Structure 1
Amino acid sequence: MNEIPRGTVQQQTFYEQVGGEPTFRRLVHRFYEGVAGDPLLRPMYPDADLGPAEERLVLFLIQYWGGPRTYSDNRGHPRLRMRHAPFTVDRAAHDAWLGHMREAVDELGLPPELEAQLWSYLTYAAATMINTAE
């Protein structure tokens, strides 16, 4: 076991600060509850069961925010734009995605500074997925 020298400040990852895996599972589960009933987004998920998509997003977010690298171990590099290329992602899809994610983030009840950091990334990520002009 490695000893941490006295006076050393250990930094927690965002993943640890927000409560780890259970927080990301709650976030993504709530998000997919919204997607399940969304007439614009639901057709982008061809499988009858949204569970595998939910698990992929959980693992991706966990890894992105400093948790275990299970996503890359199982699926390789995220390549988000490439993986979303087969789908029409326009401004309406972007807005719908963010609407469901906003509800999910709000339900987490994170401290404001952590919520702002998470939301900043999610809005950035959503904008980069747009691949179809109006």
Structure 2
Amino acid sequence: MSLEDVNDRGEPAVSAFDLLGGEPKVRELVDRFYDLMELEPAWAELRALHPTTLEGSRDKLHWFLCGWLGGPQHYIERFGHPRLRARHLPFAIGIKERDQWMACMEQAMREVGMDPAFAERLKASFFNTADWMRNKGV
């Protein structure tokens, strides 16, 4: 998700990556997301879909989000096209898992102090992507 290439005054638009605060803020968001996933029993099913250690997951989500938000394409440089749905097909992802992912990310966005209006915009984009990952009915 990138913002428009230019704003209404014809100036280069600022990317969501820059609005968030660049790589340090993306890393902070990702780390908080995975910390919460490990700590909160409410997200046990979501946590169970991940490897025993989350270091690789943390890095991959950080690299992916940097590019998805309009910053450096770290994920693509390492792995090629994200092919998100295909990469998630081995995991049973339904409404419950999607909603847990969203709730965990929403809490992480709040806890890292993201601007609420910006967080709402991201929430909508995150939801569309998370919903696309579903591969089971419930």
TM-score by length of 2: 0.84
1:10 to 9, 12, 21: 12
What is the 5 A alignment of 1:7-86?
Answer: 9-37=11-39, 38-46=43-51, 48-86=52-90
2:127 to 114, 123, 129: 123
Question: CA–CA distance in 2 between the matches of 1:23 and 1:122?
Answer: 17
Q: What is the aligned-residue identity percentage?
A: 33
Question: CA–CA distance in 2 between the matches of 1:11 and 1:97?
Answer: 29
TM-score by length of 1: 0.87
Query: Deviation digits for residues 28-83 of structure 1, max 9, x if unmatched?
Result: 1111012224421222113x210110110011011011111111010110000001
1:115, distance to aligned residue in structure 2 (A): 1.4
Alignment size in residue pairs = 127
1:8, distance to aligned residue in structure 2 (A): 6.4
CA RMSD across the alignment = 1.6
Give the structure with higher Rg (CA): 1
Query: Relative contact order (C-alpha < 8 Å, sep 6+): which is higher?
Result: 1
Counterpart residue identity of residue 107, structure 2: E
8 A Cα contact 2:32 2:112, kept in partner: no
8 A Cα contact 2:29 2:109, kept in partner: yes
8 A Cα contact 2:17 2:71, kept in partner: yes
Gaps of 5+ in 1: 1-6
Counterpart residue identity of residue 44, structure 2: P
Question: CA–CA distance in 2 between the matches of 1:10 and 1:99?
Answer: 33
